Structure 1
């Protein structure tokens, strides 16, 4: 009888252990014991196709992660869909990801107009819409859109840096502004004017362009005609390259500030002609390959090794590639911390509780901070000037929080 009791107790303990182990695993859509299915949209075609390298870098990173066993034993299946930077296409592809592919989350979709098109849909569906690759201020709205978080320096805060730099270094400037006619352009210009303060009265002309325009040559000609000696350019890569090239063609030599989304050496400056980009000033949060400063930096060595082994067709000096690599590491961090609780609710909880997090390619002094009541991922920048061969960091880290 005693033996039977011991066997019964043993069976009960085993059953309880199995039940507890099972209970610890909580899965949302797209998750099994061997896979985590994620989705995103990227402009692999269309007017913003230069940004597509970001998605390719992210895919390559998870190919590497999967080859090493995945995350907590699960392979990452990232479905990266081409939306051509077209909001209607973004809606179509995102619905497919959610309703047909049943992904756990949509992560790192790119573009302000494109993400705007799916903003309400994903929040109504309570699908994590995380690490959107756009710095528009609208993404930091945990009260009204709790399922959406950004992973890009906020445009308003970045714009403030340029305005402050103009005031400090060119107090008598005659200022011209060219920007994309959308939320991202308006946010950047808003921040720039905040940074200018009382000097905003020195803006002599503002022009905009549409993402569907063929060129911005006429806008640049118009601005040069004002006699402005300082130019603030908010543009996506295709148009950023056009502005830089046209300014040079006209023999115009303004103090030229260009936003980080259009500062890629590989994606913008090389197409524009490196000689035409000398003297440009931008703001950065990420290290860039080719800068001798990071020659012996372990994070940079690991990145270049990754590029050689997993993304040999990519350009390591393309800032979109660097951002894609770092974003993939952020996704990896979130999924790792989530453990076996891979529900949509827990993924959101983990993603919005990250403090003082560093990554190998973030510049010194730049950290990632996300709280349940404040989704602004990072607001610390370093200023950089292009010397014809590389971007050179100068000055101390700047906390540009609009608050």
Structure 2
């Protein structure tokens, strides 16, 4: 794998077709009217600086390897608002723990334009950090492809599809976890399954869905209903699940599982018994009702953060770009909402149904 080195003023000069002295003058803020720097030349240099994300760093230039021992963290969504704390906080805890153990400082990138965070923005100073950890429910595919085409070291937290080349990542093994949950349900006597949640919007959603289907195929279960949207009225979702003959419903989002569980209990239905409920992790922070422990699997967010930080640091130490792809196992959470079906449901559908609205 090709070695990694920091961009220098000499690189900027070569890309802009000017002398290194001209680059230095532009970086040092020489007046726009300075006769030594024609406006067209200045603009060309500034464009190269913006396009490459170059930041002059005299401290790094004095260091033997040209490294700051700073790792960047970029999140496509705000990391600290309360409604997303459960999603981002464990990642940040794992990253911080590993960075401290490895002797790195952290720099959180928050810049962007028009209310949208972007990696390649004139205000985002990526190259202040030796490399970057990138987190988000979904990534900008164009930016990811640009990262893969460049020389800047990074590791994605969460599995990502190829973007011109295999993307280095540390993700959760959602597919294996979902398959295991299906096998457990079949082992308890369930045969007809419902799935509530999007199956396409992001890699993590696709992995859960594909694992769920693989589990059905391996264990002999049947998909009775797929509701490919979240946040439908709970009673409508419950009606559809019961009408399909499903005895167990898998939910992408904990928030939807909570609402359907409450609707079932209001009708006097036993959970589990009349209906079992399984949650395939959770993308959203939500208040859990007291006394209800949902059967689910834990997403190893802290461990993902630790391993991604270690992967990036190891690549920097070797002078190489990260190239590995790692999936961390998810831990089964027993809960109390999955049990044997009480009896065959009165209403059975011969074919799988899908609700689209």
| TM-score, normalised via structure 1 length | 0.54
Q: Which residue of 2 aligns with 1:178?
A: 196
1:272 aligns with 2:288: yes
**Distance (whole Å) between structure 1 residues aligned to residue 168 and residue 225 of structure 2:** 35
Q: Which residue of 2 aligns with 1:308?
A: none
Give how far 1:348 is off. 0.8
RMSD over aligned CA atoms reads 4.3
**Distance (whole Å) between structure 2 residues aligned to residue 238 and residue 129 of structure 1:** 33
Q: Summarize the alignment of residues 184-199 of structure 1 with structure 2, pairs less than 5 Å apart.
A: 184-197=204-217
Larger radius of gyration: 2
1:122 to 147, 162, 175: 147
Give how far 1:128 is off. 3.9
1:78 to 105, 108, 117: 108
Any conservation in 1 of the 2:154–2:312 contact (CA below 8 Å)? no
Any conservation in 1 of the 2:298–2:330 contact (CA below 8 Å)? yes
Give how far 1:259 is off. 0.8
Structure 1 runs not aligned, ≥5 long:
1-23, 287-322, 353-374, 389-403
More helix by share: 1
1:334 aligns with 2:347: no
Give how far 1:188 is off. 1.6
How many residue pairs match? The answer is 274
Structure 2 runs not aligned, ≥5 long:
8-53, 338-357
Q: Secondary structure at the match of 2:75?
A: strand
Q: Summarize the alignment of residues 231-380 of structure 1 with structure 2, pairs less than 5 Å apart.
A: 231-235=249-253, 237-252=254-269, 253=271, 254-261=275-282, 267-268=285-286, 271-275=287-291, 277-278=292-293, 280-284=294-298, 286=300, 323=301, 325-334=302-311, 336-338=313-315, 340=317, 346-349=320-323, 352=324, 375-378=325-328, 380=329
Q: 1:127 to 1:381 in 2, by over 3 A?
A: same
| TM-score, normalised via structure 2 length | 0.60
1:43 aligns with 2:64: no
- Structure 1 residues 263-284: Cα deviation after superposition (integer angstroms, max 9, x where no partner): x9xx44xx13032x34x32234
Q: Secondary structure at the match of 2:135?
A: coil
Q: Secondary structure at the match of 2:166?
A: coil
Q: Secondary structure at the match of 1:40?
A: strand
**Distance (whole Å) between structure 1 residues aligned to residue 75 and residue 264 of structure 2:** 33
Give how far 1:56 is off. 3.9
- Structure 1 residues 118-171: Cα deviation after superposition (integer angstroms, max 9, x where no partner): 4323223344442423x5xx54x59x5334313222x32222112222222224
Give how far 1:79 is off. 2.4
Any conservation in 1 of the 2:74–2:110 contact (CA below 8 Å)? yes
Q: Secondary structure at the match of 1:272?
A: coil
